[in-house]
Structure 1
Amino acid sequence: MPHDHLHDHDHSHDHSHDHAHEGDAPKWKYDGVRVIKGDQLDSNTAQTPGMFRQAAINHARVGAQKIWAGTVAIAPDAKTGVHHHGPLESVIYVVSGHARLRWGDRLEFVAEAGPGDFIYVPPYVPHQEINADPSQVLQCVLVRSDNEAVVVNITDVDPVEPPENVYWVDPIHAAPKA
C-alpha cells in the first residue's frame, strides 16, 4: 500500500498558539466573554434630573473599544433638545414605557415605540428624544457604536415639542439654552 503523506502527521505536539513571550498569550478567562449582571451596572456617571443612566459595557468596565451599552431611565414627559450624535449610530430598546422620536430638518417626522420595540438613530440625523408618557418612567437599553459620547446641539431649529417641563439631560444630552 502506498504511503499516505496526508495522514503522516505527528499529533503529539502542543497545539497551543506560538507566542514570542508566554506573557503575551491571551488570558481568555479574563479577556474572553463577559457577563455583566443586571444588578451590577455602573451608576458612577454624572446623574442629572430627569434621567438615570447606568453603563454595562464600556471601555472602563470591560475594555470595549468600539461600543457602549447601558440602561437609561427617563422621567415622565422628559424631552431632549434638538441634537445629533455625529458619526455614531445608536440603538434604543424600549423595556417599558412610551418613547417618541422626532427627526428631520424641522423635526417634521415622528415615530413612537413601546415595550419590545427597537429604535435605530443613524449618524448625523437631527432628532429629539421624548418620553411620551406624562405619568410613567421610560426604561430603555441604549447601545452606541463608540465609547466616546458625541452630541452636537442644534440651536437653530424650533422643535415641534419644545422641552418645557423636564429636560432629558445627561453627560451627552445638554439642556437647551433658554
Structure 2
Amino acid sequence: MNQADVRPVVTRGGALDDRTGQSGDCVRRSGVSPQHTPATKIWFGQVSNEPGFRSPPHHHGEAETGGYVLRGHGRIYFGEELKEYVDLYEGDFVFVPPHMVHVEVNMSITEPLFWLTCRTPDNIVVNLDDVPDTALEGYRRP
C-alpha cells in the first residue's frame, strides 16, 4: 500500500458497532475492529453492563485481552467453578489470558459499569453454559 493512501480511521462515539461477539448482558461495541475499519490484528471497544448485569461464563479463544475501567465497580470471576475473583474500579487495568473461562459482572445494583477492552487478534467470544447467580460469591441482581 502506498504510504500516501494510509490515513487514520476515526470512529465517532455515536458510531460504535455492536456487530461483534457478545456475552449475555455484557454488551460490546467496537471502536477499532475488522467490523468497520481496516484493522486486522486488533479489536478495541467499549464494554458495558447495566446495574447488576453480568455475562455468562465465556472465554476469548487465543485472544489476549486488556481492559480499563472507565466507570463503576466490576468483578471478574474465574478459576475452578468460578470461585476466584478480582474486583476492578475506575482507573484499573486488567489482563485476561487466552482461553481463561470467566464471568464479567457489574457489582453495583444502581450504577452502570463501563470499560474499554482491547483484544488481539479480534473479539473472539466463546460462550459456555451459564451458571446460577448463587455460584458467584457476592453477586446480586437489583
Structure-2 residue corresponding to 1:3:
none
Q: In structure 2, what is the Cα distance between the partners aligned to 1:67 and 1:51? A: 20
Structure-1 residue corresponding to 2:135:
159
The structure with the largest alpha-carbon Rg is 1
Kindly state the Cα deviation for residue 165 of structure 1 after the two structures are TM-superposed: 4.3
Kindly state the Cα deviation for residue 160 of structure 1 after the two structures are TM-superposed: 2.5
Which of the pair is proportionally richer in strand?
Answer: 2
Q: In structure 1, what is the Cα distance between the partners aligned to 2:121 and 2:71? A: 25
Deviates more, 1:45-54 or 1:123-132: 45-54
Q: In structure 2, what is the Cα distance between the partners aligned to 1:129 and 1:75? A: 12
Q: In structure 1, what is the Cα distance between the partners aligned to 2:107 and 2:120? A: 25
- Counting matched residue pairs gives 141
> Contact (CA 8 Å) 1:57, 1:67: kept in 2 or not?
yes
Kindly state the Cα deviation for residue 101 of structure 1 after the two structures are TM-superposed: 0.8
Give the aligned CA root-mean-square deviation in angstroms.
3.1
| Paired amino acid for 1:97 | G
| Paired amino acid for 2:53 | A
Gap runs ≥5 in structure 1: 1-24, 167-178
The one-character-per-residue Cα deviations of 1:55-76 (angstroms, maximum 9, x if unpaired) are 1101132211111111122100
Kindly state the Cα deviation for residue 44 of structure 1 after the two structures are TM-superposed: 5.7
The answer to whether the aligner puts 1:120 opposite 2:98 as a matched pair is no
The answer to whether the aligner puts 1:26 opposite 2:5 as a matched pair is no
Kindly state the Cα deviation for residue 125 of structure 1 after the two structures are TM-superposed: 1.2
Gap runs ≥5 in structure 2: none
Q: In structure 1, what is the Cα distance between the partners aligned to 2:78 and 2:12? A: 34
Gap change, CA 1:47 and 1:111, over 3 Å in 2: closer
| Paired amino acid for 1:114 | Y
Structure-2 residue corresponding to 1:109:
84
* Amino-acid identity (%): 28
> Contact (CA 8 Å) 2:60, 2:123: kept in 1 or not?
no
Corresponding residue SS for 1:135: coil
Kindly state the Cα deviation for residue 50 of structure 1 after the two structures are TM-superposed: 3.9
Structure-2 residue corresponding to 1:70:
45
Alignment of 1:4-23 (within 5 A): none
| Paired amino acid for 1:160 | L
> Contact (CA 8 Å) 1:99, 1:114: kept in 2 or not?
yes
| Paired amino acid for 2:60 | H
